[in-house]
Structure 1
């Protein structure tokens, strides 16, 4: 064990790593409830997505643990699942099979980038403030979705949106669940999102809004409904190039940023550099590709891994422990299905995760007009157009234009001009 994970070298022990893995698991296990709940709204089979979510997480996390020896968990990313279901499928009018095809193509490109140094060039081409704006915009987008699912915000024929009827049982329960999760969060309870879900579920049962399943444990079934259903040809016939680029771009820099942050917290960076980064990025790339084949949206490194690092996790044994616990959840699909079917149970997680993501706006350079206005449009257009790709596209087109107007065109990376042209073509001539 020590020889494989180098426990002594990193100043840790089996007991500490197992505790860290358990901690990480409870902070991120909410995704096995939320992800199938979101993707099932795109017409996908709940049980199939449930199994795909867990297996894709296992594939990516175990590669991360065994190939790079990092205490980082991989799972389907929040925001990307909402983009998949509500923008690409519902908003774009394409089938979920075609959307899975776009995820698979993005995953293959990600694998190729992970094996070359071009990934750094791609990341360096995008100004840091625009990266933060994308993260913040996604956060606002999924918060918006959470509020809609809970009917806290509803459609209005005159103003497009308005406040819903807060006394409706499901809406009221959502507010109660949100307050419970915020209280747990303020007291820094480990796994506060998951614990909040369980408490809300108990309240829902007392309110008569939740019916317990006949059985709690069952053998995992249903993967055939989503596995190997990708429509790759449809990706190109529908011209979903911006969708592919959006999946790729967000997964790449979100994963890179998360891994750097967790590695720095664990003291694993060397001279400010991220050793074995190729294997770490490859873990997410393979996880994304495997997830597409199984039936789920792109995977990403989870910032919740920092919870395990905070209690001493320093090696891949932390990730392996979390993987074992994730594998055990495969047998609890009946109870997971009931929890995911209640909007009041899942909506608070969407709202809070969105809040955590939008907090990065403080890192945007607000005194740099050429950067900050495109960043502003990225943030506001994602929820207003119900499309992450549209928000990114408008911001990416406007940024080099403003730089050129101000005579600073040389400050724009050459690759970024290519991004701008591609997004212009996509927005002007293709479905988006």
Structure 2
């Protein structure tokens, strides 16, 4: 027996066995998988440069860490594709790298070598959860309302990322954000790209996202609408890359700062990865989730050895899923494209953010449809979900949004006399996130 279930998006359906053995249809459209991989790669390719620049503020030379970023992305995508068999991009997390630089290095005064060691230890804690029953206990403890909120929250997070990267919204003079001037060529190019991409999308053109990216990139460069970003990255620097490999410093392993930083990072990695896997592919069977979750942990552990910040499932994977990516072939395609990126780092700067922004905005819009599954009449369900969704967006942090949702859920349920409905694991998760929020006071 088989049943049709949705991913939270109206146009993505997967054929599932009743026992939940597989989320993948027996018929695989290889063309769609490749197009999905291309779309996901271009949507996430900015990580190559941006991650290196953020780590540069921690003291790691960007012209060297860029190779670590690409290498771990290749390993992550190929591993999740061949072993995990899901269309998810595994790469360095954009929120996690900020925690690495601004919390571990800036606030806790670690060297970048010590921060890599803390990342390694946090990854070990992640693996303990991944390879024990803890992962299943934790995921089963999360109520459906918060699961849907995670997907919707990631959606609105992506929308804001797209609006900002596309120059549609900017920091206001009297407010934290406002609509950009219509004299801005970036805004005009993004709006034109959005119209083109939406037209292709609603006409059900296969590869609509990818085609939109290509058309916008050509227009931007031929008409010189947006200046090409300058980059100092070069393949010739790869001979110096070994100088940052394996540079983990455990000399302050038992210091308060090291332990606090490691625990906080582990909390982010465990629950943000769990939330992203279930938010991007909520219909994964237990076996599929465990396999993908464990693969991510192993890749994550290796990332610190390669001299870069930890990996997580990329939220931008949803762009490829929306384009029809259903299997690990999508992730493998992305991994191969990261290989090509070794030789084409400067060429990536020709792709304007205006070309990528519409893809991210539309994908976020589709993910936000999960709000329809929330019971808005039950405020004890809706309020924690609402807090999770808006805090993901306006704190620009998926992990902070998760914390607000998980901490508020048992509180609200207790206020309305439904404390008995909350499982012990859920209390435990809420307690962990409360510790995480309290720890932010000191770090």
Name the TM-score, length of structure 2 as normaliser. 0.74
Distance 1:275 1:428 in 2: 34
Q: Bigger CA drift: 367-376 or 136-145?
A: 136-145
**Deviation string for 1:335-355 (max 9, x for gaps)?**
01343xx43234334333332
- 1:169-180 matches, within 5 Å, as 169-180=185-196
- Hey, what does 1:4 align to over in structure 2? none
Contact 1:38 1:85 in 2 (8 A): no
Q: Deviations over 1:173-210 (max 9, x none)?
A: 22222222222332344444343232222111133234
How far apart in 1 are the matches of 2:230 and 2:423?
55
Q: Distance in 2 between the 1:253 and 1:122 partners?
A: 11
Q: Secondary structure at the match of 2:343?
A: helix
Q: Structure 1: any 5+ residue segments left out of the alignment?
A: 1-9, 264-272
On the 8 A contact 2:169/2:179 being kept in 1, the answer is: yes
Inter-CA distance 393–309: structure 2 relative to 1 (3 Å threshold): closer
In structure 2, C-alpha distance between the alignment counterparts of 1:292 and 1:17, rounded to whole Å: 36
Residue of structure 1 equivalent to 2:295: 283
SS at match of 2:90: strand
Which of residues 323, 347, 362 in structure 2 aligns to 1:335?
Answer: 347
Give CA deviations for 1:369-418 in whole Å, capped at 9, x if unaligned. 21210111111122333333332222222211121222221211212222
Q: Residue in 2 aligned with 1:268?
A: none
Kindly indicate whether the alpha-carbon contact (under 8 Å) linking 2:147 and 2:278 is maintained by their aligned counterparts in 1: no
1:123 aligns with 2:139: yes
Tell whether 2:368 aligns with 1:358: yes
SS at 1:331 equivalent? coil
How much does 1:163 deviate?
1.6
> Partner of 1:137 in structure 2?
153
Displacement of 1:123: 0.6
Matches of 2:43 and 2:305, distance apart in 1: 19
Q: 1:105 Cα shift?
A: 4.3
Aligned length: 400
1:245-266 per-residue CA deviation (whole Å, 9 max, x = no partner) reads 13321212422564564x6xxx
Tell me what 2:277 maps to. Answer: 255
User: What's the counterpart of residue 267 of structure 2?
Assistant: 245
Which residue number in structure 1 is paired with residue 14 of structure 2?
none
Q: Who is 1:374 aligned against?
A: 384
Q: How far does residue 36 in structure 1 lie from its aligned partner after superposition?
A: 2.5
Contact 2:52 2:63 in 1 (8 A): no
Sort the Cα spacing of 1:119 and 1:404 in 2 relative to 1 into closer, same or farther, 3 A. same
2:206 and 2:244 map into 1 onto residues whose CA distance is 33
SS class of match (1:160): coil
Counterpart secondary structure, 1:203: helix
- Residues 184 and 55 (structure 1), Cα distance of their counterparts in 2 relative to 1, 3 Å cut: farther
- Give the one of 40, 48, 51 matched to 1:36: 48
Q: For 1:354, what is the secondary structure of its paired residue?
A: helix
What are the superposed Cα offsets for residues 143-171 of structure 1, whole Å, 9 maximum, x if unpaired? 22332333322223433332221221122
Q: 2:311 aligns with which of 298, 320, 330?
A: 298
Q: 1:390 aligns with which of 396, 400, 410?
A: 400
Is this contact kept in 2: 1:291–1:298, CA < 8 A?
yes
Query: Is 1:168 matched with 2:184?
Result: yes
